Amino acid sequence: MTQASLINHYPAHLATVQERYDAALAATGYDAVLIGAGIARLQFMDDQQAPFRANPQLLQWLPLTAHPDACLLYQPGRQPLAVVVRPATYWEEPPAAPGAPWADGIELRIVAQSKAVPAALGTLPQRLAVLAPEPHLQDLAPAEHRNPRALIEHLNYQRAWKTDYEVSCQREATTQAVKGHRAAALAHAEGASEFEILLAFQQASGQAAADMPYPPIIGAGRHAATLHYQHYRQTSPSAGSLLIDAGCGCQGYASDITRTHVREEHPAFAELRDDLDQSQQQLCARVRPGVPFAELHHAAHGEIAALLVAHKLVEGTAESALERGLSRFFFPHGLGHLLGLQVHDVGGRQADPDGSDLPAPTRYPHLRLLRTLEAGFSLTIEPGLYFIESLLQELRADPAGAEVNWDRVEALLPLGGIRIEDNLLVTADGAENLTRDAFATVPH
């Protein structure tokens, strides 16, 4: 992403954010809003700071990703004002304040201490809402006006629609992640450990742990069956499969990509991976405005059921496997979620700006995304097919377990599972696959 593209897209983005806040403040009876990044915290019984994660509500305005104590005051009809704390210290180097294009639209005031923030803000409006993690800015508004739910629901609902600036940030985050995924695939092919694959991803993507939107999931062999596997073993993997779920960040916006790699000595598992990849692309092709996401999720279960039958993991037909619920033992998570300032972005279950929840399907009560898709939504499509021992034990005790070819399932059990995940932008007549586009265009 070039500086020119930031300059081109940011003014319209800022205007859109202001319009959304104008509407939300008017609907909830507030005159202004003060948004805090949060504060740096010490780890328990230690003098070392815990990793800092800025309030995403602030990052929608400007990328104060590493600026504890920063805040932004917005009052409709006035230029937004951001106060950035840059301590005068020789222990750490304070992060720079944002320059153009953010400083062109937002007034920036720099102070050396957090206690100077109130004076830099000046006189605050009477009906002020504060959006900040506790205890940041706790003395600047009474408790009932801190993080008011009605205001937050209005803002969360609107975040599903991405501006051109936000899409540009996501494109760049995708580009960097694709570089990392290519390096990870090569490292796995050369027999690297999970830890070494993590290092390869970070080096190629240019992202330190603090830059990444979530800790990468790097599971070799059986570890791929743990959906949010969190360890990085330093011994070389003995199995010939790898699931890597890793994204990058750009100006506070996230990418979220998963690929599964299989060594040539496991042709049956590789064929299953390739067929799941085709199913994933068929699901991506169905993404368009007007489609309720819950329907896509149900279609994904149909695809998984068909794969189970085609690969002789279960007997019968795809229709019977779906009807009897066999797919849920192999595909236990949602098909996807909204993506943006947070990996699992907010507002996915909202029916309206007032915060009413959409009814979840009885079969799928825990989906993160229930809304009907609209142009401008950014989301993931990530079907999976896993061999999870605890779920397979449940299936053995279920009447439907009689339809399973257990010898074939147990032969694949050491390889863990498969997930394929792309990031899509819903367009006026379909969707743009940011992930596949990047894999096709980013130079090796």
Q: pLDDT, tens digit, for every residue of 352-371? A: 999 999 999 999 999 999 99
CA distances for 351 relative to 154, 158, 251, 354, 369, angstroms: 11, 11, 29, 8, 11
Please check whether residues 148 and 231 belong to one and the same domain. Answer: no
Specify the pLDDT at position 148.
98
pLDDT single digits (tens) 205-226: 999 999 999 999 999 999 999 9
Q: How far apart are CA 19 and CA 157, in angstroms?
A: 14
Please check whether residues 337 and 194 belong to one and the same domain. Answer: yes
- CA angle, corner 197, sides to 191 and 203, nearest 5? 130
Given 135, 158, 181, the domain boundary residue is 158
Given 142, 158, 174, the domain boundary residue is 158
pLDDT single digits (tens) 17-55: 999 999 999 999 999 999 999 999 999 999 999 999 999
Residue 120 scores a pLDDT above 90: yes
Please check whether residues 294 and 247 belong to one and the same domain. Answer: yes
Structure tokens at 318: 């795809």
Please check whether residues 154 and 169 belong to one and the same domain. Answer: no
Specify the pLDDT at position 2.
59
Average pLDDT over residues 410-418: 97
Average pLDDT over residues 55-74: 97
Specify the pLDDT at position 53.
95
* CATH code: domain of residue 55: 3.40.350.10
Average pLDDT over residues 56-73: 97
Specify the pLDDT at position 274.
98
Q: Assign 89 a pLDDT band (cuts: 50, 70, 90).
A: confident
* Residues 6+ positions from 398 with CB-CB distance below 8 Å: 329
- Percentage of the chain beyond pLDDT 70 is 99
CB-CB neighbours of 369 under 10 Å: 26
Please check whether residues 87 and 191 belong to one and the same domain. Answer: no
Instruction: Provide the domain count of the chain.
Output: 2
Please check whether residues 283 and 258 belong to one and the same domain. Answer: yes
Please check whether residues 373 and 311 belong to one and the same domain. Answer: yes
* CATH code: domain of residue 290: 3.90.230.10
Please check whether residues 283 and 425 belong to one and the same domain. Answer: yes
Given 158, 191, 224, the domain boundary residue is 158
| Proportion of the chain in helix, strand, coil states, percent, rounded to 5 | 40, 15, 45
Please check whether residues 151 and 46 belong to one and the same domain. Answer: yes
Domain span including residue 296: 164-441
Average pLDDT over residues 222-247: 93
Please check whether residues 109 and 182 belong to one and the same domain. Answer: no
Average pLDDT over residues 321-338: 97
CB-CB neighbours of 368 under 10 Å: 18
Please check whether residues 141 and 184 belong to one and the same domain. Answer: no
Specify the pLDDT at position 3.
67
Average pLDDT over residues 395-420: 96
- Percentage of the chain beyond pLDDT 90 is 95
pTM of the model: 0.96
Average pLDDT over residues 156-177: 97
Structure tokens at 82: 């951001």
* Residues 6+ positions from 393 with CB-CB distance below 8 Å: none
72 phi and psi angles, rounded to 5 deg: -135, 130
Specify the pLDDT at position 1.
52
Q: Assign 239 a pLDDT band (cuts: 50, 70, 90).
A: confident
Specify the pLDDT at position 6.
76
Please check whether residues 179 and 199 belong to one and the same domain. Answer: yes
